[in-house]
């Protein structure tokens, strides 16, 4: 069985270049819940190359103490190049959180489904100060939009072993409510423009696509390219996303 870090080994560059970013407004809400009279401590788990930090860091005061942890050394190396002032660590998110106390904000961006979720929630609650915030944020392709998004899901379900478009149908709000107070949800719909080549690269950086490639080889990427070409307009495809954010406050 592959180790967790193997999911993204060799994919860091593609991941960094083409993975969707996050609406800044959803991070601004989390930052607005933090105290304004102290230096905040932030821990980003499953940080990857720091895509969430791109939106988060400009919203934080310059003196913020920011930490990031990921299982992939390649991801961390790219993240460290982008954000050298952040303290980066390689390892298990839940175990790393256990080394902290008095944290103001814990973030899990596109990583919650990969974590030991009960262990993560317990570790985050223990690491946070009273009233601190746990933010779970995730991008989901908007399947209700039909077109490209629906066709791509059909292809994944056909060729990626055991894949189902409902794999991330997790009741995040309900799960956070078992551990945190005042859990709130927000969402934002948007579209990511990509060239056909960028869409293929983005696809290849995903775990589900890597499973399809392992099963059927380059045939999968050829079909991804053909699919994207069918939906191309004015040189781009426009991938519809709904970004969901969940905010849980630690017990005061």
The pLDDT of residue 9 is 55
Residues 6+ apart with CB under 8 A from 194: 18, 202, 236, 237, 238, 239
pLDDT, residue 169, reads: 81
Look up residue 113 and give its two tokens.
Answer: 């489904």
Name the strand (E) or helix (H) holding 128.
Answer: strand 128-141
Give me the pLDDT at residue 10, please: 64
Strand duo 181-194 + 237-249: pairing: antiparallel
Residue entry with tokens 């819940």: 33
What is the per-residue pLDDT across 155-179, written as a single tens digit (0 to 9) for each?
A: 999 999 999 988 778 999 999 999 9
Segments of the chain with pLDDT less than 70: 1-10
Structure tokens at 56: 């988060």
Q: Tell how strand 65-70 and strand 103-109 pair up.
A: unpaired
- pTM recorded for the entire structure: 0.91
> What SS3 class is residue 209?
helix
Place of tokens 């999911």: 7
In CATH, what class is 4-144+166-192+241-249? alpha beta
DSSP 62: T
**Four-residue CA torsion sign, 198, 204, 209, 213:** positive
CB of 100 within 8 A of CB of 127?
Answer: yes
> Do 97 and 106 meet the contact criterion of CB atoms below 8 Å apart?
yes
- Contact criterion met (CB below 8 Å) for 248 and 179: yes
The CA distances from residue 141 to 5, 144, 160, 241, in Å, are 24, 9, 17, 4
14, β-bridge pairs = none
Q: Which pLDDT score, from 0 to 100, does residue 35 have?
A: 86
* pLDDT at residue number 168: 73
**Strand, coil or helix: 20:** coil
* Sign, CA torsion 13/134/122/139: negative
């Amino acid at each position: 069985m592959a180790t967790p870090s193997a999911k993204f080994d060799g994919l860091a560059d593609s991941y960094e270049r083409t993975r969707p970013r996050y609406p800044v407004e959803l991070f601004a809400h989390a930052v607005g819940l933090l105290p304004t009279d102290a230096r905040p401590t932030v821990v980003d788990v499953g940080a990857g190359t720091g895509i969430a930090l791109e939106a988060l860091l400009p919203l934080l005061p310059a003196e913020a103490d920011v930490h990031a942890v990921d299982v992939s050394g390649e991801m961390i190396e790219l993240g460290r190049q982008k954000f050298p002032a952040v303290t980066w660590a390689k390892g298990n998110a839940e175990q790393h959180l256990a080394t902290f106390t008095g944290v103001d904000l814990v973030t899990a961006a596109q990583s919650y489904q990969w974590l030991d979720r009960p262990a993560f929630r317990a570790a985050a609650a223990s690491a946070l100060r009273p009233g601190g915030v746990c933010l779970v944020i995730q991008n989901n392709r908007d399947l209700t939009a039909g077109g490209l998004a629906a066709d791509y899901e059909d292809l994944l379900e056909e060729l990626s072993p055991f894949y189902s478009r409902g794999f991330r149908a997790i009741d995040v709000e309900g799960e956070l409510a078992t551990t945190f107070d005042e859990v709130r949800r927000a969402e934002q719909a948007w579209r990511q423009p990509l060239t056909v080549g960028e869409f293929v690269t983005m696809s290849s950086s995903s775990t589900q696509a890597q499973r399809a490639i392992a099963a059927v080889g380059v045939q999968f990427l050829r079909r991804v390219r053909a699919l994207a070409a069918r939906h191309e307009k004015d040189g781009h495809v426009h991938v519809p996303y709904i970004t969901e954010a969940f905010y849980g406050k630690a017990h005061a």
